Amino acid sequence: MASLLTEVTEVVTGLGTLGASEPSDLLAAPGPPDAMSGVSQQTWDRIADAWAQREHHGAFLAAFNNGRALLRAGDALRGRPPALVEWKGPHRDPADNPVPADLRIDHVYLVSCKYLSKVLHNTSPRALFERCLAGDPAPRGGDWFAEVAPAQHQHHYEELRRLIDGGERLPSDVNMLDSADRAVLAGAREVGSERITAAYAELAEAVARESARRWNAALDTPARRRSMLWRLLRLSAAPYFVLGTGSGENLRIRVATPWDWTRTWDLEEFSVEPEPAGQPRVSWSAAVCHTGDGPSVVVRGHVEIRWSHGRLGGSPEAKVYLDSPHRGVPGYVPLT
């Protein structure tokens, strides 16, 4: 089930497009408006109660005003309240590289609600560094750390094992850990020592270095590097809108298609480098020039590689962040 804050930001963004002046004009009703689809009575009651209790009040106002901005925008609804706003809710889209939409308006306008988040993707390391986000997502099974840095992975584990029980209960090989063993390790993940810290630093450096090497090897042509940038930025065959907040300002942009992008921009360089950090991290940057006389820009981001449930817990994941402001990214067009 989605968190209350997620429900508020997504559903109330949709409510803002319906033409009401204030959230209370709609949230005082016993159920969702007829034009709002996909919102259960239970979800509506949670959201209405949160509004009445002034819980997440700032998020309510930001979401509602973003919806109103979409309603007024000349390159969106142009002042015409929609007949249908569909909230997709918690779901897993079955399509390859789907548009990250939370709302669909009048079967045409797709809206992604992004509040206080600069995360572009949360995927498996293999899907990113070897498959470059193309096609079906790679399965999350397997341990990326064990594959790309086996010696450092084993050494880090040995230091943890020595700290916990002196090697009495846990297997000697990190690849032999089962769920019960990982539960034992969970209690010691935050316990530090100089040896564990040094071992993890070596592991992080090795994982970042090999991940960057494999990513660079997969990006061996200009076309692949350009497609990689489009996938990172989530440019899709269909344009869509991103509404939210970030860095102290409202986020209201239209995400262009790759076809739109090529009419205005050219990729000069796409760079990938391992980056020193407290965990395995790979930076990426794209130098993009304007096809006309406009200025060139550099888009920057990074990838954090980590276990999904704490150190040595769960399958590793690759979380992709955008470090540059959304407003200045080629292909992200401010809403007007």
Residue 192: per-residue pLDDT: 62
| 293 vs 240: which has the higher pLDDT | 240
Task: Identify residue 187 by its one-letter amino acid code.
Answer: G
Residue 138: per-residue pLDDT: 53
Residue 327: per-residue pLDDT: 86
What mean pLDDT, rounded, does the chain reach? 91
**Percent of the chain residues past pLDDT 90, beyond the cut:** 72
Are 320 and 121 in contact, with CB atoms under 8 Å apart?
yes
**Dihedral sign from CA coordinates of 306, 308, 2, 54:** negative
Compute the distance between CA of residue 187 and CA of residue 165 in angstroms, rounded to an integer: 12
Residues 6 or more apart in contact with residue 127 via CB below 8 angstroms = 133, 137, 138, 318
DSSP annotation of 49 reads: H
> Token digits for 325?
């402001």
Are 63 and 51 in contact, with CB atoms under 8 Å apart?
no
What are 69-125's pLDDT values in tens digits? 999 999 999 999 999 999 998 766 655 557 889 999 999 999 999 887 899 999 999
Residue 323: per-residue pLDDT: 95
What are 189-229's pLDDT values in tens digits? 555 688 888 999 999 999 999 999 999 999 999 999 999 99
List C-alpha distances in Å: 219 to 96, 129, 130. 20, 9, 9
Residue 123: per-residue pLDDT: 94
Name which of 170-179, 244-253, 297-306, 322-331 the model is least confident about: 244-253
DSSP annotation of 113 reads: E
What are 21-35's pLDDT values in tens digits? 999 999 999 999 999
